[in-house]
Structure 1
Amino acid sequence: MDRRIKKTRQLIMDTFIDLLSEKEFEKITINDIAERADINRGTVYLHYLDKYDLLDKCIEKHIDLLLNHCANSSNTTLDASAIQSVFEYLEKNFTIYKLLLNNEGFGFFRSRLYVIIAQTVTEVIGKKSEGNKFSNGITTHFLTSGFIGVLEWWINNSMPCSVQEVTAQLLFLLEPYTRHLVSD
């Protein structure tokens, strides 16, 4: 892709994120974005169908960035380094993820995150639970819901504890489960 196209798309997305931090999504217009970015309104439409397309692309981009970070920093396990890596990344990029989690109507972000975490949990359970009494479906959704709940609580409350504390607590809570998987 041409550098100018990448640069323009990034400018539009950054401007959109800035506007999201100031006002509700429904009140943002393409004119607002173009004016703030100091570009023609038609330029925004050259890159995005409308503000909903821009929102979808923004969510996808930040989901992909989180996934790429996690993929580069660990394998598909539910160990301390994997959990800590997720929270370290969220800490570094707190503002954007708080916006994506807090804005009403952005259920798509949460849904995508849920699917991705559930896939990882399913892979881990599949590797460790052969012959186990646990239902993979119930276990996957229980662990995924709990993890997403903790993640949302941590972000929505402006990181009330350190990355190390939240990682240690999650590992403590997962310990009885992982012990059952290994011993059964």
Structure 2
Amino acid sequence: MDRRIQKTRELIISTFIDLLGEKGFEKITINDIAERANINRGTVYLHFVDKFDLLDKCIEKYVELLLNHCANSTDTTLSVSAFQSIFEYLEKNYTVYKLLFGKEGFGIFSNRLYAIIAQTVTEVIGIKSENHALSNGVTTHFLASGFIGTIEWWINNSMPCSVQEITEQLMFLLEPYTRHLIPR
């Protein structure tokens, strides 16, 4: 993608996130975005169909950034350091993820993240599980929704415990269900 196009898209998304935090989704207009970004309204429409498309692309971007962080982490196993790395990233980018996990994300962000995590859990269980009782949809849903629910609770409650505390508690809770998947 051309650098100028990419830079303009980033500017529009960044402006949209700022306005989302200030005004809420319902009150944002394309004119607001264009005016704040100091670009022509038509430029916004060259990149996005409408503000719903912009929200959708914004959600895609931040799901992708979170997943890229996980993929680029030095520890890609289900370990304390892997979970800690995820929560540190979320803590560092708290403002954006608070908006996306909250009412401004309309549950779309959580649903997208859930789908990706559920697919990953299904693959891991299918590959590494020797216990056939854990290779069904119930386990996948339980683990994926529990993880997403924990992240969402932590973000929406203004991170009521430290990264270390939430990581340790999550690992403690997941241990009985994942002991055969986590390397020792």
Question: What TM-score, normalized to structure 1?
Answer: 0.91
Q: Which amino acid aligns with 2:91?
A: E
CA contact (8 A) 2:73 2:85 kept: yes
Q: Map Cα deviations across residues 13-42 of structure 1 (whole Å, 9 max, x no partner).
A: 111101000112111110111111111111
CA contact (8 A) 2:99 2:105 kept: no
Q: How does 1:1-184 map to 2 (within 5 A)?
A: 1-74=1-74, 77-104=77-104, 106-179=106-179
Secondary structure of the corresponding residue to residue 16 of structure 1: helix
CA contact (8 A) 1:77 1:120 kept: no
Separation in structure 2 between the aligned mates of residue 122 and residue 76 of structure 1, nearest angstrom: 16
Separation in structure 1 between the aligned mates of residue 130 and residue 58 of structure 2, nearest angstrom: 39
Separation in structure 2 between the aligned mates of residue 18 and residue 104 of structure 1, nearest angstrom: 12
Equivalent pairs: percent with the same residue?
Answer: 77
Q: CA deviation at 1:74?
A: 4.6
Separation in structure 2 between the aligned mates of residue 120 and residue 155 of structure 1, nearest angstrom: 22
Q: Map Cα deviations across residues 102-161 of structure 1 (whole Å, 9 max, x no partner).
A: 125622211100011112222222233234333421111011111111101100111111
Separation in structure 1 between the aligned mates of residue 105 and residue 69 of structure 2, nearest angstrom: 26
CA contact (8 A) 1:78 1:121 kept: no
List gaps (5 residues or longer) in structure 2. Answer: none
List gaps (5 residues or longer) in structure 1. Answer: none
Q: CA deviation at 1:76?
A: 5.1
Q: Which amino acid aligns with 2:40?
A: N
Question: What TM-score, normalized to structure 2?
Answer: 0.91
Query: Alignment length, in residue pairs?
Result: 182
